Amino acid sequence: MTIVVVMEQVPDVVEELAIAPSGTDLDRDAVSYVLNEYDDHALEEALLLAEASGDEVVAVGIDTTGELDQTLYTALAKGARRAIKLTGDFEGTWLSTRAAARLLVPVIQELGPRLVLTGVQAPDDLDGQLAPTLAALLGWPHASVVIGSELVDGVVQVRKELWGGITMTLELELPAVLGVQAARQAPRYVPISRVRQVMREASIETREVEAPDGLVPAVTTLRVPEQAGRAEILTGSPAEIADRIIELLRARGLL
């Protein structure tokens, strides 16, 4: 049986982000892309489930960056059996969640998995998160903010985090869709030599697909938030900064 993991590359928000002259997208030429960190957790959770159940993990991604191969080869090196890349006339665009889901549904239906896992959210999912969107289109039960799961007797038991450490445990009939916040353990590391080996031995299946309606999110304008500028910036050497911090704490009776 099959477990599908949907993986996506997203702009690295640690880097500086610039807005394109159009005002409705980032300046994609200046963006560096990384795997959505939650998708890495989704892959780990899928691999842990598959190791216990004997399922086959299939990594699926939509290539909006031209750089998805690295992500998919890494997934193969970590233990995914197959990797499928959807390509089309949307490279360099900001794909809406709804459009991504519409592209993914036919592939998922063809693969007939008993579980679909993906990251709980992405830095750019303006029109909602992928897991519940896929669940709605597929008509399958779902849960997001997942921090652990187990396949038991034809159901998946899911731990969903609410807040303040409160968790909800649900039993979902299969097939189901999970939006993963954190795998049960930190995503595994795979050495680059192993990824290179996989690149020689395995291949990514590529499917050309038609760009769907509602390709990009309906944004009027992007802008950089006005830094409230609240912080008074402490300047100087680390020693001078430390002195100032201690001064501030003493002045408030905190030391």
Partner 1 sequence: MTQRIAVLVEHLEGQPTDVTFELLGLARRIANTDGASVQAYLFGERVGHLAESLPADSVTVVEHSALHHLAPEPTARVLAALLPADLPRLLLVPNTSLGMDVAAWVAAALEWPLVAYCQALEHRGSRLVATAQLFGGKILADVTLDERPTVIAALAGAFAADAVNPGAPGKIERRDAPAELAALRTRSVVLERPEAADVDITRAEKIVAVGRGIESKDNLELAEQVAQALGAVLAASRPLVDAGWLPRSRQVGKSGLKVKPKLYFALGISGAPEHLEGMKDAELIIAVNKDPKAPIFGVADYGAVADLFEVSEALLERLEG
Contact with partner 1 (CB under 8 A): which of 93, 167, 207, 216? 167
Write the binding mask 17 to 46 for partner 1: x where contact by CB under 8 A, - elsewhere. Answer: x-x------x----------x---x-----
The CA distance from 81 to 59, in Å, is: 8
Contact 144, 178 (CB under 8 A): yes
- Cα dihedral 33/26/116/37 (nearest 10): 40
- Name which of residues 122 to 141 contact partner 1 (CB under 8 A): 123-129, 131-133, 135-137, 140-141
CA pseudo-torsion sign 97, 213, 136, 47: negative
Letter for the amino acid at 201? E
The CA distance from 255 to 244, in Å, is: 13
Spatial CA neighbour of 209 closest among 67, 82, 60, 32 = 60
Contact with partner 1 (CB under 8 A): which of 14, 29, 54, 153? 14
Output 54 or 191, the one with its CB closest to partner 1: 191
The CA distance from 92 to 50, in Å, is: 33
Compute how many residues bind partner 1; rule: CB under 8 A.
Answer: 84
> Parallel, antiparallel, or unpaired: how do β-strands 82-87 and 56-62 relate?
parallel
The CA distance from 137 to 123, in Å, is: 22
Output 205 or 240, the one with its CB closest to partner 1: 240
148 binds partner 1, rule: CB under 8 A: no
The CA distance from 255 to 247, in Å, is: 9
161 binds partner 1, rule: CB under 8 A: yes
- Cα dihedral 224/226/229/231 (nearest 10): -50
Task: Single out the segment in contact with partner 1 by CB under 8 A; choices: 72-80, 83-91, 95-103, 203-211.
Answer: 95-103
142 binds partner 1, rule: CB under 8 A: yes
163 binds partner 1, rule: CB under 8 A: yes
Spatial CA neighbour of 176 closest among 221, 215, 144 = 144
- Name which of residues 185 to 214 contact partner 1 (CB under 8 A): 185-186
Output 192 or 224, the one with its CB closest to partner 1: 224
Tokens (6 digits) for 157 = 């038991």
Least distance in angstroms from the C-beta of 170 to partner 1? 5
232 binds partner 1, rule: CB under 8 A: yes
Output 54 or 218, the one with its CB closest to partner 1: 218
Write the binding mask 100 to 119 for partner 1: x where contact by CB under 8 A, - elsewhere. Answer: -x------------------
Least distance in angstroms from the C-beta of 10 to partner 1? 9
Task: Single out the segment in contact with partner 1 by CB under 8 A; choices: 52-60, 107-115, 199-207, 242-250.
Answer: 242-250
Residues 6+ apart with CB under 8 A from 169: 157, 158, 159, 160
Least distance in angstroms from the C-beta of 200 to partner 1? 31
